[in-house]
Structures are given as structure tokens and as C-alpha cells.
Amino acid sequence: MLDDKLIGLLGGAFDPIHNAHISIAEECIKKIGLKKIIFIPTGSSANKKLTNYNHRLEMVSLVCNNPNFQVSDFEIKKYLNKKEISYTIDTLKFFSKDSKFTLCFILGSDAFSSINSWYKWKDLLNYTHLIIIERSNNQLNSDDMPNEVQDFLISNTTKDINALKKNKNGYIYTLPTVFYENSSTEIKNKLKKNASTRKMLPEIIREYILRHKLYSVTGHIK
């Protein structure tokens, strides 16, 4: 049953958005009961060059024909207006202004393991719950984390989904999943080599990539 107050936030470059992103969103809706997932494409990246924001935003919009999916240009607009990186804490502060909703910020187990490198990471739980996506090929292992991240996880973890519904913020919930995690880098490499991406990308995204000749694609996509 969907909870009218639980909203999932899923950020990323989405360069391009692919089936694993969609599977994560669907799993969170199904197993946690989130009312909707808001996809938030990042405006910039300090580590890599991104495809033009218009294309990334449009590709995410194309998969948001699901009534439980929504796209936000908050981080893109912030970057365009101020030419600065939008930290996760700033995004959470913005979305938490609507007090009717309880936020659940979704991230992978690999990202969580290094969350102590995020700006004001210890303050995140003041605005949201954290949903850690644990993949079968990348399980969450506290022994591999810095001690302060281990303590953060242990101190705030709940195995009770109802705790997310009864409290506005403050909990960490781990959601095991069985799907294979696609890599955007792997997908782009396959597109350049004209190797098959049918199992990795929604057809509507494959068509968009071909139409706009993204990722060095010039002809037919397998």
C-alpha cells in the first residue's frame, strides 16, 4: 500500500537514465510504499564531463510517464543560476520545506560507504530518511566503512518500515535488491561500439539517443 506522505528522492547524473535506475525506483515504491519518486538530475559533476543538461533532463522526463515518477530540475537550475555544485544537503533543505511529506533519500551501498566525504553528511538525517540500495553483487559491509560511517549506520538503522512512516526523518533503512546494476559508463561504451543495449535501456531512451546522435551514435542502435 502506498503511503501518501512518503516521497523518494533519487539523484544522479542520469547520463543516460537506464533500466537499473527505473528498477530501483519501482522497488522502493513496491516494497517501502513510497507515494512517488522524484528523479533529480545533477547540474554538474566535479569528476566527469556530462552530456548537456537539456538532454539528460528530457531523457528522465521520458520515463516519467509512470504516474508515480516525477522529475525535478532543481539542481540543474541552481547550477545554471549560480554556476556552483548543488550539495545533497541543499537539495534536502529545499524539498523538506513542504512539511506535508516525509522524504526518503535513495542511494547505493557504494555511495553510502563513502558518505563521510559528502558536505555536512551528518546533518542529512535532520531532513530525510536514507534508503540504502543493497545489490546482490555489492552488499553493504560495515567492515569496509570508515569507523564514523559504521557508527552512523549502526546508530540510525531500522528494520521496521513503519518507523519511516511514523517519523519525519532520522532513520536508515537498507533495501536488498536482486537486479543487475547497469553502469552508465558501460552503456556509453557499448553505444560507441554499436553493441547491444536492449537489456540496459528503455526503448524510448534508445530512440532518443539515436535521434539526437548522443554518445557518438550516428546510425542504427543494436
For residues 112 and 211, membership in a common domain is answered with: no
Residues 118 and 190 in one domain: no
Provide mean pLDDT across the span 83-110.
90
Q: What are phi and psi for residue 90, nearest 5 degrees? A: -70, -40
Reading across the β-sheet that carries 129-135, which strands appear in turn? 69-71, 34-41, 3-12, 102-108, 129-135, 172-177
User: What pLDDT score does 3 carry?
Assistant: 60
Residues 173 and 189 in one domain: no
User: In sequence order, what DSSP letters do the residues of 96-132 get, joined into one string?
Assistant: TT-TT-EEEEEEEHHHHHTGGGSTTGGGGGGT-EEEE
Same domain as 220, residue 138: no
Secondary-structure percent of the chain, ordered helix, strand, coil, rounded to 5: 40, 20, 40
CA-atom Rg of the chain in angstroms: 17
Question: Residues 64, 84: one domain?
Answer: yes
Q: What is the CATH number of the domain that holds 138?
A: 3.40.50.620
Residues 104 and 123 in one domain: yes
Number of domains in the chain: 2
Q: What is the pLDDT of residue 217?
A: 78
Task: Give the pLDDT band of residue 16 (cuts 50, 70, 90).
Answer: very high
pLDDT band at residue 181 under the 50/70/90 scheme: low
Q: Residue 75: which pLDDT band, with cuts at 50, 70 and 90? A: very high
Q: Is the pLDDT of residue 136 over 70?
A: no
Residues with Cβ within 8 Å of residue 182, at least 6 apart in sequence: 18, 19, 20, 200
* 140 shares its domain with 51: yes
- Supply the pLDDT for residue 222: 65
* Cis-peptide into 16, omega within 30 deg: yes
Distance (Å, whole) CA 107 – CA 138: 13
Mean pLDDT taken over the chain: 90
Average of per-residue pLDDT across 15-39: 95
Q: Are residues 150 and 204 located together in one domain of the fold?
A: no
- Asked which of 5-19, 61-75, 175-189 is least confident by mean pLDDT, the reply is 175-189
Residues 71 and 9 in one domain: yes
Same domain, 99 and 188: no
pLDDT, tens digit (0-9, with 9 covering 90-100), for 193-206: 888 899 999 999 99
> What is the residue range of 191's domain?
182-222
- C-alpha grid cell, residue 200: 540496459
Co-location of 87 and 122 in the same domain: yes
Residues 120 and 202 in one domain: no
The mean per-residue pLDDT over the stretch 17-32 comes to 94
| pTM of structure | 0.93
- Element holding 11 (H helix, E strand): strand 3-12
